[in-house]
Structure 1
């Protein structure tokens, strides 16, 4: 009885091992099919293009500016200005304005305002209004007399002394060179001699711009 049962057990073990191997092969083949199908599906997928549409920037912007006019207090008002282009292609196509044409239009009174636009981390935008009394005949270095007098008073010796400016001691030492009034004679000699050192072998260069009179 024992001998007859052993072959049966062996056959049962073999059959069970065969069934398990068949199950593993079936599962492995199924997993391969799934992988292939996933690969095929992934290969068939089409990439969607990302939308590159950017919200258009407003064409104009309202800014608060300070208007500085000569003879009147500063006023704050809002103006509408066009936004500058942001791409390089448009910026390079902008027309240029030479400083000569700008000065000509400014003197002719054709420019109503000159606005200076700065960044957000800098002070507010300033707008300098061109007054109507500005004419081309006005000298460039002209300024009110009161301004010149105030600047001259701030540089006087008394002002330097009152402000403890270190320049006062030097001005005191050279008082005879920079007097209050123009003297009728030269200042006293201080023993300072200036001399030009020539390169050895060279002479002074004397140029004659007109013929010298004959003796």
Structure 2
């Protein structure tokens, strides 16, 4: 075997090539010769990519134990603060309703959150007054029109009553009440008792009945919902002409101030036609 001096550049190439060999393949010249052929048939190894920087740590990690119709199973979920700025919220990836239902059935969705604006917390009388908002003085000027609470009495008869016209041949509209969580039952009982004391509702002996449930409000508390689905299906709808959306937008052209009114318990602020009261039993 004849030794031959190699140029520095070739030496560097040989050293770099040997770095890719498995341990033990450079123990002898014969072993290097055996691996040369197999090395040619192998795909050239690409340099390793630098590891991604570690992500920012989450706020906390908690362990949730729950029973899913079988033995107890323990799962670990990461609890982190959701994005608060509008740019991050609007750039969240979309989720189709089909994938949402699929993930929900598979148990991949741990919690559903409702993202709301923080302005809800600043709409109380105290917050408006403390912030020096000019709306406060205007709102207090008409406090008799927009009271903090609905008067504990039936609304005045203003010559307009809500009417329910059933389609000919309609039978009793009955849907059995489904089970509800204890906190929703308590919220419904408290609401019904308050409406009873105000004279808005009374004990029912009606053959009609519709279920009731609750929906969480964005501002906190429960929204009471009466599921009048069957009654609505049997009702002849009033053919009130509704303006087109583009016509409404055109009429708002040039306006500066836009207002909206959300009536509290608007269902109880208008009298019912006496013969239609049994239809509203819940």
Relative to the length of structure 1, the TM-score reads 0.26
**TM-score, normalization by structure 2:** 0.21
Higher relative contact order (CA 8 A, sep 6+): 2
| Structure showing greater Rg | 1
